[in-house]
Structure 1
Amino acid sequence: MKQPDRIAPEETVGGPTAPTAYRKPNGDSPRTAGDPICLPPGISSARFKTFLLRLAGICGEDNVTAITKEEELHHESYLEPSKCHDMFSIMNKEAFIASAVVSPRHTGEVQAIMRLCNEFEIPVWPFSIGRNVGYGGAAPRVPGSLGMDLGCNMNKIIKVDVDGAYALVEPGVTYFDLHNYLVEHNLRDKLWVDVPDLGGGSVLGNTVERGVGYTPYGDHYMMHCGMEVVLPNGELVRTGMGALPNPKADPNAPAYEQEPNESWQLFNYGFGPYNDGTFTQSSLGVVTKMGVWLMTNPGGYQSYMITFPRDEDLHQIVEIIRPLRVGMVLQNVPTLRHILLDAAVHGDRKSYTDSDKPLTDDEIDAIAKKLNLGRWNFYGALYGPAPVREVMWQVVKGAFSQVPGAKFYFPEDQPDNIVLQTRHNTLQGIPSVTELKWVDWLPNGAHLFFSPIAKVSGDEAVAQYALTRKRCEQAGLDFIGTFVVGMREMHHIVCLVFNRKDPKSCEKAHWVISTLVQDAAERGWGEYRTHIALMDQIAQTYNFNDNAQMKLNERIKNALDPKGILAPGKNGIWPQTYDAKSWAIKRPSLASLR
Structure 2
Amino acid sequence: MSFAGEASSDVPTLPGTHSGIPAYLLEKARNAKGDVFDGRTKPIKDRQRLPVVPQGIERDDFLAALAELKVQIGNENVEINDKPLKDGWYMEHPNTHDMMTILDEEELVASAVVYPSSTEEVQDIVKWANKHRVPIFPISMGRNLGYGGAAPRVRGSVTVDLGKRMNKILDINPEDYTCLVEPGVSFYALYDAIQEKGYHHLWIDTPDLGGGSVIGNTVDRGVGYTPYGDHWACHSGLEVVLPTGEVIRTGMGALPGNNTWQSFPYGFGPYSDGIFSQSNYGIVTKMGMTLMPNPGGYESFMYTFPNEEDLAPLMEIIRPLRISMILENVAQLRHVTQSVAARGLPRSQFYSGTGPIPPDVIHAAAASAPVGDHTWAYYGMAYGPAHIRAHKLALVDAEFRKIAGARKVDPATLPADEYYFSRDRVAAGVPDIHELRWVNWAPNGAHIAFSPVSPIRGTDATRLFALGKRLHDAYGIDFFPAFCVGLREMHLIVEIVFDRDDAERKQAALDCLRDMIDEAAAMGYGEYRTHLVLMDQVAATYSWNDNALMKFNEKLKDALDPNGILAPGRCGIWPKRYRGRGWEMTRESGAASEGDGVGPAPEAKCDQGEFSGASHPYP
TM-score, normalised on structure 1? Answer: 0.89
**TM-fit CA distance, 1:288:** 0.3
Encode CA deviations 1:236-294: one digit per residue, 9 max, x unaligned.
10000000000xxxxxxxxxxxxxx2100010100000011110000000000001111
**TM-fit CA distance, 1:409:** 2.4
- Alignment partner, residue 76 of structure 1: 88
Distance 2:416 2:208 in 1: 19
Match of 1:62 among 41, 65, 76: 76
**TM-fit CA distance, 1:501:** 0.5
Distance 1:390 1:34 in 2: 62
- Alignment partner, residue 376 of structure 1: 376
- Alignment partner, residue 423 of structure 2: 423
| Partner SS, residue 583 of structure 1 | coil
Contact 1:300 1:385 in 2 (8 A): yes
Contact 1:303 1:410 in 2 (8 A): no
The one-letter code of the counterpart of 1:41 is: Q
Note closer, same or farther for the CA distance 1:589–1:157 as it changes in structure 2 (3 Å cut).
closer
The one-letter code of the counterpart of 2:559 is: A
Match of 1:348 among 334, 346, 349: 346
1:508-547 maps to which residues of 2 (within 5 A)?
508-547=508-547
Distance 2:409 2:476 in 1: 34
Contact 2:242 2:282 in 1 (8 A): yes
Match of 2:300 among 298, 303, 324: 303
**TM-fit CA distance, 1:581:** 4.5
- Alignment partner, residue 191 of structure 2: 179
Note closer, same or farther for the CA distance 1:34–1:392 as it changes in structure 2 (3 Å cut).
closer
The one-letter code of the counterpart of 1:190 is: H
Contact 2:51 2:112 in 1 (8 A): no
| Partner SS, residue 113 of structure 1 | helix
1:71-110 maps to which residues of 2 (within 5 A)?
71=84, 73-110=85-122
| Partner SS, residue 238 of structure 2 | strand
- Alignment partner, residue 193 of structure 1: 204
| Partner SS, residue 368 of structure 2 | helix
Match of 1:121 among 122, 133, 146: 133
- Alignment partner, residue 363 of structure 2: 365
Contact 1:511 1:589 in 2 (8 A): no
Contact 1:368 1:375 in 2 (8 A): no
The one-letter code of the counterpart of 1:78 is: Y
Note closer, same or farther for the CA distance 1:59–1:323 as it changes in structure 2 (3 Å cut).
same
Distance 1:411 1:169 in 2: 36
Encode CA deviations 1:6-55: one digit per residue, 9 max, x unaligned.
xxxxxxxxxxxxxxxxxxxxxxxxxxx99843101111111111111121
**TM-fit CA distance, 1:416:** 4.5
Encode CA deviations 1:439-477: one digit per residue, 9 max, x unaligned.
111111101010001110111111111110111121111
| Partner SS, residue 354 of structure 1 | coil
Match of 1:329 among 310, 326, 330: 326
- Alignment partner, residue 22 of structure 2: none
Q: How many residues align?
A: 541
- Alignment partner, residue 51 of structure 2: 37
Contact 2:537 2:586 in 1 (8 A): no
- Alignment partner, residue 242 of structure 1: 253
Unpaired segments of 5 or more residues in structure 1? 1-32, 247-260
TM-score, normalised on structure 2? Answer: 0.86
Distance 1:564 1:393 in 2: 53
**TM-fit CA distance, 1:327:** 0.7
Match of 1:136 among 129, 132, 148: 148
Distance 1:478 1:46 in 2: 48
- Alignment partner, residue 566 of structure 1: 566
- Alignment partner, residue 257 of structure 1: none
**TM-fit CA distance, 1:568:** 0.4
The one-letter code of the counterpart of 1:120 is: H
**TM-fit CA distance, 1:362:** 2.1
Distance 1:149 1:546 in 2: 37
2:304 equivalent to 1:315: no
Contact 1:299 1:383 in 2 (8 A): yes
**TM-fit CA distance, 1:89:** 0.9
| Partner SS, residue 381 of structure 2 | strand
- Alignment partner, residue 13 of structure 1: none
- Alignment partner, residue 244 of structure 2: 233
**TM-fit CA distance, 1:411:** 2.9
- Alignment partner, residue 468 of structure 1: 468
Distance 1:135 1:428 in 2: 26
Distance 1:553 1:318 in 2: 35
| Partner SS, residue 494 of structure 1 | strand
Note closer, same or farther for the CA distance 1:190–1:580 as it changes in structure 2 (3 Å cut).
farther
2:245 equivalent to 1:221: no
| Partner SS, residue 342 of structure 2 | helix
Match of 1:46 among 37, 57, 60: 60
**TM-fit CA distance, 1:585:** 2.6
Contact 2:146 2:448 in 1 (8 A): yes
The one-letter code of the counterpart of 1:336 is: L
**TM-fit CA distance, 1:167:** 0.9
The one-letter code of the counterpart of 2:101 is: S
Note closer, same or farther for the CA distance 1:335–1:396 as it changes in structure 2 (3 Å cut).
same
Distance 1:178 1:85 in 2: 26
Encode CA deviations 1:213-258: one digit per residue, 9 max, x unaligned.
0000000000111000000011110000000000xxxxxxxxxxxx
Distance 2:363 2:588 in 1: 33
- Alignment partner, residue 491 of structure 1: 491
- Alignment partner, residue 281 of structure 1: 278
2:288 equivalent to 1:264: no
Distance 2:462 2:397 in 1: 23
**TM-fit CA distance, 1:368:** 2.5
Distance 1:420 1:40 in 2: 46
- Alignment partner, residue 220 of structure 2: 209
Encode CA deviations 1:371-411: one digit per residue, 9 max, x unaligned.
21421000000000111001001101111010111111243
**TM-fit CA distance, 1:316:** 1.0
Unpaired segments of 5 or more residues in structure 2? 1-46, 591-619
Distance 1:528 1:140 in 2: 20
Distance 1:485 1:167 in 2: 27
**TM-fit CA distance, 1:580:** 4.4
**TM-fit CA distance, 1:582:** 1.4
Encode CA deviations 1:319-358: one digit per residue, 9 max, x unaligned.
1100000111111111101111121111221222222221
Encode CA deviations 1:561-593: one digit per residue, 9 max, x unaligned.
011010100010111011344113352899xxx
Distance 2:282 2:373 in 1: 45
Contact 1:309 1:375 in 2 (8 A): yes
